[in-house]
Structure 1
Amino acid sequence: MRVINAVGSTCLGLLMASAVQAADLSGNTGPRHEVRGGVMYHDTMNRESGVDLNVEYLSRFAAFDLFVPVVQWRATFRPHVGGSLNTAGHTSFVYGGYSLTLDLTDRIFVEGSFGGMVHNGVHVSADRSRLSLGCNVMFRESASVGFRINDQINVSAMVEHGSNAGLCEANNGITNAGVRVGYTF
């Protein structure tokens, strides 16, 4: 068992060292700040109406890069904060968490995020035109695919979902989908 642990630790150490070395040789400038804004189709279940105006800030502080040398992909973890305002007066929310951006090419990226959100929606509703979200604090996750127009501007399609994971009485959850434009600086 000790031999297996030693071999595994050595392999992991070599992999991490090669990833760090490859990251240094890639010319990567590291994580950067980014602001995104867009329009989201509110509640894909069609219980609540309206369009959401979304804004998000991704910080380079407390961020870090990883490089996967086998496939030449760069991954960046960055903290984010944001909010979505519903134009029809239904559920709006603010959120925060961490995003993982994976650069598939110089221009194409995919992204996933996980964190929490606080909303102003209804906890339990008999009204079929409103979501029953159970509690104000929920988990939030999102997935995006994007295209970098240049070094500073990108456009992405995103789907986001908020849920209390069954921790509160009701749990309809909320799912939005839309398009955003990002500016990196």
Structure 2
Amino acid sequence: MRKQFLPFAFLLCLAFPSHGLAEDKGPGFLQPGIHADWREIRLGVLAYDRGFFSTDDFSGAVINGEFLFNSPEFLDRIGSPRPYIGFDAAIADDPVHFIYTGLNWDFHLFGRLYLSTSVGGAITTAENLHDPSTYKAMGCRALFHLGAAIGYDVGERWTLQAYADHFSNAGLCSSENNGAEATGVRIGYRF
């Protein structure tokens, strides 16, 4: 399923014409901070335990939500990332949820297409951190959060994304580090 998803999302993004938006002024390729002045709400549906590094052991769905703040001036030197707060709420046999926060960079690719990357920290609700049987062993309650998306601006305020996220203890705990991932689609609204 995941192998067919990304090409489909890319073709969907290319299906919309790119005339009439501010990017015609010419933001450069991989220019960071293209949405830095906007606040944004992103909501999506993801596949549980599906991702680039996942072993696909479990199934279910994940409801994902994020709120991105506009970038404060003191972050201009590192590409104007936007602070964010978000959640992954799993709908599975034994759900594990995550609350996360960090910094998000949006990089212009071409036309209305952009790359979005996030890095930060997370807290998991998993009760058994070391030897669970119905979800990944995370080893720690406090984790790292990584997110990546290919997005397409439908208009000035609306956007669509093919999104994947990853939660891991990055080897900082002395126990298991299986990592948890989810992959899916999101819609965003900027204001």
Alignment partner of 1:47 out of 50, 53, 57: 57
Letter in 2 for 1:145: I
The aligned runs of 1:83-162 (5 Å cut-off) are 83-88=87-92, 89-121=94-126, 122-125=128-131, 127=133, 129-162=134-167
**Does structure 1 retain, via aligned residues, the 8 Å contact 2:96–2:124?**
yes
Note the C-alpha offset of 1:175: 1.2
Higher strand share: 1
Residue 143 to residue 181, structure 1, CA distance change in 2 (3 Å): same
Q: Distance in 1 between matches of 2:109 and 2:177?
A: 35
1:91 CA drift (Å): 1.2
1:101 partner letter: D
Q: Alignment identity in percent?
A: 30
| Superposition misfits of 4+ residues, deviation over 3 angstroms | 63-66
Residue in structure 2 matched with residue 5 of structure 1 by the alignment: none
Contact 1:31 / 1:65 at 8 angstroms: preserved in 2? no
TM-score normalised by L of structure 1: 0.74
Q: For the Cα contact (< 8 Å) 1:37–1:53, is it kept in 2?
A: yes
Which protein has greater RCO, CA pairs closer than 8 Å, 6+ apart? Answer: 2
Higher Rg = 1
CA deviation string 1:13-48 (max 9, x = no partner)? xxxxxxxxx99xxxx895110000000111123333
Structure 2 unaligned segments of length 5 or more: list them. 1-25, 28-33
| 2:70 maps to 1:60 | yes
- Give the Cα separation in 1 of the matches to 2:142 and 2:161: 27
Aligned-residue Cα RMSD (Å) equals 2.4
Question: What is residue 79 of structure 1 aligned with on the other side?
Answer: 83
Shift of 1:167: 1.3
| 2:16 alignment partner in structure 1 | none
TM-score by length of structure 2 reads 0.72
